[in-house]
């Protein structure tokens, strides 16, 4: 399968770049970042606040199946240029992860396709490694939990 | 119990990354590796020990010399650790794409 989303994370640096080309016109891609109801769907989170303007604030809240809030994220939108760019900060509340800076650049490729380039800058190379490992660690945890459930059923 | 060394901890160190890069093109003895660095020989030995313990390097005895070479299998494991992160974003963006395609057709 073709890898549509690419990650460029050079060794020893404190930033990484995520690129993705979409089969969507630029205005629709940008809309997916601005309309709270749409953000909620593809980010699988609740949008508490999303002020899409310079110096606007945003806050998301993610809950588990039982409705308990498991993760709160927030930040400030620094630059907002429709269908061009969003520069914002991102922080996970109640975690040791420092705030990160995100540069999102939206480009038109054709009338029907567009491209997103997202550069994320972390506080240090170590913080970048920790963030990169999160989904990896979560995957291991999930496998571990499943194993635990299977073992519980056996005894 | 012997604590297994963390591979990611191993590659967090710049000297150890430089050693891995050096060995990417050729197998070398500890002495030859050390001659590429300003650091003291025992320090380089310690780095080699850590890299060997976490299986990023293999040792091979050739005559009197011990040559170090990369373990490509373990190196691939490191490259792949970014994969879950990439997949997380790929899943999100796939979802975004299909939601907006529906949105477009509803317009």
Cβ contacts of B86 on chain A, cutoff 8 Å? 3, 5-7
Strand order in the sheet with A15-22: A5-8, A15-22, A114-121, A100-108, A85-92, A69-81, A56-63, A46-50
Taking the C-alpha atoms of residue A75 and residue A128, their distance in angstroms, rounded to an integer, is: 18
- A32:B99 CB<8 A: yes
Q: Are A102 and A118 in contact (CB under 8 A)?
A: yes
Domain segments of chain B: what residues?
A: 7-81
Total length of chain A: 155
- B100:A38 CB<8 A: yes
User: Taking residues B81-97, what's their average pLDDT?
Assistant: 89
A17 touches chain B (CB under 8 A): no
Q: Map residue A63 onto helix, strand or coil.
A: strand
Interchain CB contacts (distance < 8 Å): A and B = 78
Residue among B14, B84, B92 minimizing CB distance to A42: B92
Q: Which domains does chain A have, with CATH numbers?
A: 5-154 (3.30.530.20)
C-alpha angle A86/A92/A94, rounded to 5°?
Answer: 155
Confidence at residue B79, expressed as pLDDT on a 0 to 100 scale: 66
Is beta strand B28-29 parallel, antiparallel or unpaired with respect to B57-62? Answer: unpaired
User: Taking residues B41-50, what's their average pLDDT?
Assistant: 93
Q: At what angle are helices A26-34 and A36-43 packed, to 10 degrees?
A: 90
B100 touches chain A (CB under 8 A): yes
User: Taking residues A15-24, what's their average pLDDT?
Assistant: 95
Confidence at residue B1, expressed as pLDDT on a 0 to 100 scale: 30
Taking the C-alpha atoms of residue B13 and residue B62, their distance in angstroms, rounded to an integer, is: 29
Q: Which CATH class is domain B7-81?
A: mainly alpha
B97 touches chain A (CB under 8 A): yes
**DSSP assignment letter at A127:** H
SS3 per residue for B1-35: CCCCCCHHHHHHCHHHHHHHHHHHHCCEEHHHHHC
Which one of B97, B98, B104, B105 would you mutate to disrupt binding with A, by most A Cβ within 10 Å of its Cβ? B97
Q: pLDDT-derived band of residue B3, with 50, 70 and 90 as boundaries?
A: very low
In angstroms, how far is the first alpha carbon of chain B from the final one? 63
What does pTM read for this prediction? 0.67
- A6:B97 CB<8 A: no
Over the stretch A33-45, which tens digit does the pLDDT of each residue have? Answer: 999 999 999 998 9
- B84:A32 CB<8 A: no
In this prediction, what percent of chain A has a pLDDT beyond 70?
85
Confidence at residue A154, expressed as pLDDT on a 0 to 100 scale: 52
User: Taking residues B103-107, what's their average pLDDT?
Assistant: 74
Cβ contacts of B17 on chain A, cutoff 8 Å? 11-12
Which carries the bigger pLDDT value, residue A85 or residue B87?
Answer: A85
Confidence at residue A85, expressed as pLDDT on a 0 to 100 scale: 98
Residue among A3, A12, A24 minimizing CB distance to B97: A24
Confidence at residue B81, expressed as pLDDT on a 0 to 100 scale: 74
Cβ contacts of A23 on chain B, cutoff 8 Å? 97, 101
ipTM for the predicted complex? 0.84
Confidence at residue A136, expressed as pLDDT on a 0 to 100 scale: 66
């Amino acid at each position: 399968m073709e890898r549509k989303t690419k990650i460029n994370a050079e060794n020893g640096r404190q930033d990484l770049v995520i690129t993705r080309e979409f089969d969507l016109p630029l205005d629709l891609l940008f809309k997916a970042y601005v309309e709270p109801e749409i953000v909620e769907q593809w980010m699988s989170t609740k949008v508490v606040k999303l002020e899409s303007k310079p110096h606007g604030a945003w806050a998301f809240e993610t809950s588990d199946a039982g409705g308990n809030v498991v993760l709160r994220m927030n930040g400030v939108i620094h630059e907002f240029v429709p269908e061009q760019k969003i520069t914002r900060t991102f922080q996970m509340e109640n975690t040791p992860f420092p705030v990160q800076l995100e540069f999102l650049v939206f480009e038109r490729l054709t009338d029907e396709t567009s491209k997103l380039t997202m550069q994320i800058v972390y506080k240090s190379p170590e913080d970048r490694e920790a963030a990169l490992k999160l989904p990896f660690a979560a995957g291991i945890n999930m496998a571990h939990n499943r194993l635990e459930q299977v073992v519980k059923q056996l005894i | 119990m012997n604590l297994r060394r963390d591979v990611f901890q191993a590659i967090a160190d710049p000297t150890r990354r430089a050693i891995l890069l050096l060995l990417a093109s050729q197998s070398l003895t500890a002495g030859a590796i050390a001659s590429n660095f300003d650091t003291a020989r025992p320090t380089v030995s310690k780095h080699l020990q850590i890299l060997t313990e976490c299986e990023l390097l293999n040792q091979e005895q050739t005559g009197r010399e011990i040559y170090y070479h990369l373990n490509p299998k373990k190196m691939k494991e490191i490259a792949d650790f970014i994969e879950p992160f990439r997949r997380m974003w790929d899943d999100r963006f796939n979802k975004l794409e299909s939601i907006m395609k529906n949105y477009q057709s509803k317009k």
